[in-house]
Amino acid sequence: MIESLFAKLEEQYPEMVDFRRDLHMHPELSHHEERTPEKIAEFLKGLGIDVRTGVGGRGVVGTLKGGKPGKTIALRADFDALPIQDEKDVDYKSQVPGVMHACGHDLHTAGLLGVAKVLSSVRDEIPGTIVFVHQFAEEITPGGAKFMIDDGCLDGVDMIYGAHVMADEPFGTVSVREGYASSAQDDFEIEVLGQGGHGSSPHTTVDPLVTASQLVVNLQQIVSRRVSPQQAAAVTVGSFQSGGANNVIPDKAVIRGTVRTYDAEVRDMVENALKQIAKSTCEAVGAGVNIDYIRDCPSMYNDPEEAGRIEKMARLVVGADNVHEMAPMMGSEDYAYYQEEIPGVYFIAGGQNPDIGAVYPHHHPMFNADERAMLNIGKVFISSVLNYLSDGEIKPDGE
């Protein structure tokens, strides 16, 4: 059964490419998606799939009920673009100035629609329900995942799978890992309140610029001295703003940055340490301080059993030599919100191909990826979903 569905997906590939390239030419920014969700909904409705639009704002959810009772599994793809000018010389170059699909979300979307078409053709044989979650606004904070969850996109769902095309991994490879797969993301803004004055009389001031500079240095001790070497964390100050004139000590300095962690206890510890260090550094010189600490995405945690299922099926799709352990990412991904609610797995498929110029990193003006990665993701989805819903009874031929 699975091999015949793989063949159907390959037959569907030209339509998947056309859909992807149409999205690539008409990209839409996060929270401004209109045409894209309309096209997704239209496609799913044409397959006879129950469709709900406006989920969480701009999301689309399609529900395919199989002909036999069973569990419910969701598949997720994101569809927003980025504020980047497309500089590729291709026929399907973005037609929207300053906006392009520079992260592969168009591939994710078209690939998942291909999967939906293939699985809908055998719905009577499916033992359970498959939910297609098409998510808006992955690229910015707050992302669309949380809004869609709040609006019920996971109601009744037992498991969720997600995937991402990666431009720095060779086409034909698949990577997955069990446990933590990407870090949590927190952001902070610390306002140091001093007392300004003339640069010639620093003794009459409380210098917020010097205090904030010391604070930047002190924050580096969180990871080096409070986080175990066996665990991972990053505290980065990316913005420092203060003053304007060369002979004036300002009243205020503001630093902004980001925190990345995996473990929940480490996440709590880093937040508490950052606040404590900021307060004590400022109090030591008589400066005031305001701290705004924002918790964004949690860390992605891949269910070990399901990661093993994905790995097993990926070997049958791309060959054992082309399946690798995914390196944990310090970047964040709001797919993690789904995994906070139910078990799930997130894997990556290689899209790098020097022969077609697909060698540039994500979020680059020249970004592109080998479109055949949609087939690899789709085949892993199809085989893993059916294997999961049948409790391992549905297997690729010859296994």
SS3 (DSSP) at 344: strand
Please state whether the peptide bond connecting residue 142 to the residue before it is cis, i.e. omega within 30 degrees of 0.
yes
User: Active-site residue 186, yes or no?
Assistant: no
User: Active-site residue 78, yes or no?
Assistant: no
Question: What distance in Å separates the CA atoms of residue 81 and residue 95, rounded to the nearest whole number?
Answer: 13
Number of other CB atoms surrounding residue 133 within 10 Å: 26
**Residue 340 exposed, middle or buried by CB count within 10 Å (0-12, 13-18, 19+):** middle
> In sequence order, what DSSP letters do the residues of 119-141 get, joined into one string?
HHTTGGG-EEEEEEEEE---SSS
Helix, strand, coil percent content, the chain, rounded in steps of 5: 35, 30, 35
Alpha helices in the chain (DSSP H): 2-25, 35-46, 105-120, 144-150, 208-219, 221-226, 264-283, 304-318, 336-341, 373-389
Catalytic pick from 80, 191, 306, 371? 80
The answer to whether residues 138 and 331 touch, using CB atoms and an 8 Å cutoff, is no
Question: What distance in Å separates the CA atoms of residue 76 and residue 346, rounded to the nearest whole number?
Answer: 10
The answer to whether residues 295 and 188 touch, using CB atoms and an 8 Å cutoff, is no
Catalytic pick from 86, 138, 186, 334? 138
How many residues does the structure list for the chain?
A: 399
Question: What distance in Å separates the CA atoms of residue 304 and residue 310, rounded to the nearest whole number?
Answer: 10
Active site residues: 80, 138
